[in-house]
Amino acid sequence: MTTAYTPMIQQYLNIKENHKDSFLFFRLGDFYELFFDDAIQASQILEITLTSRDAREGDRIPMCGVPYHSAAGYIETLVQKGYKVAICEQTEDPRATKGIVRREVMRIVTPGTITEGKSIDTNTNHFIGAANIVDDTYYGLAYLDLSTGEGKVQYVEGDERTLISEIEALGMKEIVVDESLHIALSDSMANRNIALSIEHNEETVELSENIPGNVVEACSRLISYVKRTQKTSLDHIRPFEFIRKNAKLSIDANSMRNLELVQSIRTGTKEGTLYWLLDETVTAMGARKLKMWIHQPLADRKEIEKRLDIVTELLEEFFLSDDLKTSLKEVYDLERLAGRISMGSVNGRDLAQLRNSLRRVPEIKNALEHSGKPLLEEFATRINLCEDATALLEKSIAENPPITVKEGGVIKDGYDKKLDEYRDASRNGKQWLAELEQVEREKTGIKNLKIGYNRVFGYFIEITKSNIHLVDLERYERKQTLANAERYITSELKEKEDLILNAEADGLELEYDLFSHVREQLKPYIPEVQQLASVLSELDVLLSFAEVAEKRNYVKPVFHDSKALEIKNGRHPVVEKMMDHSLYVPNSCVLAEDANMLLITGPNMSGKSTYMRQVALTVVMAQIGCYVPCDSATLPVTDQIFTRIGAADDLASGQSTFMMEMMESQHAIVNATENSLLLFDEIGRGTSTYDGMSLAQAMMEYIHNEIGANTLFSTHYHELTTLDEQLSRLENVHVAAMEQDGKVVFLHKVMKGAADKSYGIYVADLAGLPASLLDRAKELLETFESADATVIQTVEPEQLAFFEEVSEEKQTITNEEKAILEDLNTKDVINMTPLQAMQYIVELQEKLRTEKR
């Protein structure tokens, strides 16, 4: 017969049964303990000692533990690695029970619901999402930042890859789904370090207006999961906002990465990105809003122009803008403070920060109201002073409270009469006793009367026996008799004794109750604090735009309702910031109604990719409401941006494969509309020359004939430059370069027409290849250029098999020569290193010479 586990271990197992997918942090006194497999795995991940304990007779089980006061760091480490942690607390006082202390899970920390810790970037939204299948081509996608209560929901049109791309673009840490979608997404999410969780229940949710019924499931499933795991009030979660597709400029995850909008490809950090360039915000909530605006630029012309007009007014009122920034610097993160109030994690210092922030609001509102600028005055009307919340905080919270609520000093003097008495007794007990002693001496006439204290009898009035006859026995009650004195107590002293002896403990307990009450009183004001946070964060971002525009000499873009795009002397904003402005070579871009496709040629390192990116970044900046880096810009409203940027000259990582290139291209071509912007860089170079050339031409023809979107297409295939004769809306441009003293000089200037040569050997020279190798390459180049070779003007599908066609010249080709040509046709020359290519050429040359002999 197997001996049963001890009651405590059995309690652990019963709780663990309901949290199989989580590490169970089981509170035992001053430690959180983990047992069985949890202990083995956690000890390895957290690098803590694995030990054991008795669980039943003759049986020890694995165990490890961490101190409760330092558990937050260990929990964060596990969550960062994609695990969940169930926090199991003691819910009754061990001193008040004779049996096993009652315990229950108070919260489950997951990758999407963690709100505090070193890994949480206060300037970035931390989203948890939920998805549901609407039909074969649509998904519903809801997402929520638990720390701020900001919830949104949208349609995602496309396949699973499109859904995952949107999830990645928003930086979600965890996705909640049903069983069927969990199966479909498991492998993809595991490769991306995004936690995938199942939720069976759906909760009734509050929604903003006009949310379609078939995306409500995602919202309901998400709220149900959050409520089940957090087990606390979620009053701060706002109604989900529905994001209409035609209201936002859609940028998929690949394009966000290629354009380096919020994260550098090389370093993975903010530096070197558009976000880095534009972030002159002074509040954490402003920085988050800026990042979200970059993620989701506007696609509504009126809304775009309104933002731009506010930036204009801020630029015109320089001193006002400076004053507003100064005031905003004193405003803390209102959104996250509201979230902490709701979830009960707010402390005294948080409430002081909230009060101090609200103190700055009247001066901000007043400055806008008296700006003399219509849009800024209108902006002021959206600012809620939150007067009731401010008044409550002003009278209740101390000026400089400690972080820990239970140490005292949080509640302001004068807020509660009883607390004031406790504090007075605790702070001034000795003074009060000295004063009472003096009063009693005067009343009794006993000059040597004294007040004393001992642990057995507490406070007492001691009177020598020679003075006992002066004691008023109606007021004095005998407490102890000594050899030469009597000790008494009065009702007043007895009352004060209780106050003095218990003042500190009772005061701390009362103060915590008062703090909790203040926190509860603040909950009804959470929505207006959140609304205020939204308005102030928007103001912060617009002030940031004005500052960047002033500092970098940007201009206000002009929008129109057609497709034409004209940017005069445009600049890549990030590259320009990272180099001397005076050295930057600006370039114009004109996409006319009847010529909206540019084929860009030119040598490597000449600036083709930078040119393409600067056009896209200009569009993004304009549609978030920011001035742009150029002399002037006339733009259409773009609905989507798709990029397929190669890795040769490097803003990308250099790790793309031909399959990835084709998948990204397919995604763009399938989803683009005539109002989209497409950027294709070096399409087809990941396969053989003729395959690549054919694919590139076919894509250009399809975009030109079937989609009609504004397109920039760069290539090294000079044969494609003749397509302007066949495609009416295609124009050739090239990035100029010139030879000088045997060296190539990149002019970084985009000019009309096709490039006349590639300058590949000159680029190899710049890269530092040996001189002898370069000399040999030049000899071979002259040989090839002078050879009687077939020139392909346009690439038609039937020409791909030209090596097998019979012509008058081909009848003289021997079988051996034909074999050499077929071998050449199958080689992936583009992906060879220079040395491999030269070695292969020498081998072919030797075969031909052998054949002629």
Give the annotated binding-site residues for ATP. Answer: 602-609
Rounded Cα distance between 156 and 163, Å, is: 6
Rounded Cα distance between 507 and 626, Å, is: 54
Rounded Cα distance between 853 and 850, Å, is: 5
Say if residue 825 is exposed, middle or buried (CB neighbours under 10 Å; 0-12, 13-18, 19+). Answer: middle
Rounded Cα distance between 205 and 200, Å, is: 15
The residue with tokens 């307990």 is 509
- Contact indicator for 409, 397 with CB cutoff of 8 Å: no
H/E element holding 291?
helix 284-295
Phi then psi for 37, rounded to 5 degrees? -65, -35
710-714 and 597-601 beta bridge pairing: parallel
Q: Across the chain, which distance is largest between two alpha carbons, in Å?
A: 146
Could you tell me where the beta strands, DSSP code E, fall in 419-507?
450-454, 458-464, 477-481, 485-489
Helix-helix angle 526-552:318-328, to 10 degrees: 130
Nearest to 153 by CA among 98, 212, 91: 212
Rounded Cα distance between 624 and 251, Å, is: 13
Nearest to 697 by CA among 809, 608, 793: 793
Question: Alpha-carbon torsion 298, 302, 303, 308, what sign?
Answer: positive
- Contact indicator for 633, 557 with CB cutoff of 8 Å: yes
Residues forming the annotated binding site?
Answer: 602-609
Question: Alpha-carbon torsion 111, 117, 121, 123, what sign?
Answer: positive
Phi then psi for 559, rounded to 5 degrees? -105, 150
